[in-house]
């Protein structure tokens, strides 16, 4: 199916475990983003990527790692999950800089 998909949709993990959230888009968009959404904070940018092998930090990158070896995939890894990383995570992509972004359905992550 065309579009941007995130997996898993729901994840429960324990403190200290490593967890990877997947994001896949079929449009060959150059730009991809990871946001987290928390009550009272709106969406905050974690990392973004302008192209394969090019990534940069956003507003709240600590505790997260990204990679982008292929244009269509942009996984987000929590190296050692903490309770403060309990959140809803959204992946997004855009074809051109500073234009419309397309969002995935989100991954609800709970760290216990």
Q: Does 99 sit near another protein (CB under 8 A)?
A: yes
Could you give the CA distance from residue 93 to residue 39 in angstroms, rounded to a whole number? 23
The length of the chain in residues reads 112
* Member of 21, 33, 87, 93 binding another protein (CB under 8 A): 33
CB of residue 79 to another protein, shortest distance in Å: 23
The yes or no reply on residue 53 touching another protein (CB under 8 A) is no
Contact between 93 and another protein per CB under 8 A: no
**Interface segment toward another protein; rule CB under 8 A; list 10-18, 34-42, 66-74, 75-83:** 34-42
- Which residue do the tokens 């709240």 mark? 60
Burial pattern 7-30, b for ≥16 Cβ within 10 A else e, equals eeeebebeeeeebebebbbeeebb
Binding status of residue 48 toward another protein by CB under 8 A? yes
For tokens 């941007």, what's the residue? Answer: 4
Three-class secondary structure of residue 27 per DSSP:
coil
Q: Which of 108, 103, 110, 112 is CA-nearest to residue 34?
A: 103
75 interacts with another protein by CB under 8 A: no
Should residue 62 be labelled a site residue for another protein when binding is judged by CB under 8 A? Answer: no
Point out which residues bind another protein (CB under 8 A): 31, 33, 35, 40-45, 48, 50, 56, 58-59, 90, 92, 94, 97-106
């Amino acid at each position: 199916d065309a579009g941007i998909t995130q997996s898993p949709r729901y994840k429960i993990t324990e403190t200290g475990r490593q967890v990877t959230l997947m994001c896949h888009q079929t449009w060959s968009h150059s730009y991809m983003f990871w946001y987290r959404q928390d009550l009272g904070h709106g969406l905050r940018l974690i990392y973004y990527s302008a192209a394969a092998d090019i990534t940069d930090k956003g507003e709240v990158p600590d505790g997260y790692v990204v990679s982008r070896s292929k244009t269509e995939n942009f996984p987000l890894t929590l190296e050692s999950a903490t309770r403060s990383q309990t959140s809803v995570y959204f992946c997004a992509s855009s074809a051109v800089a500073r234009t419309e972004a397309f969002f995935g359905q989100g991954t609800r992550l709970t760290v216990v």
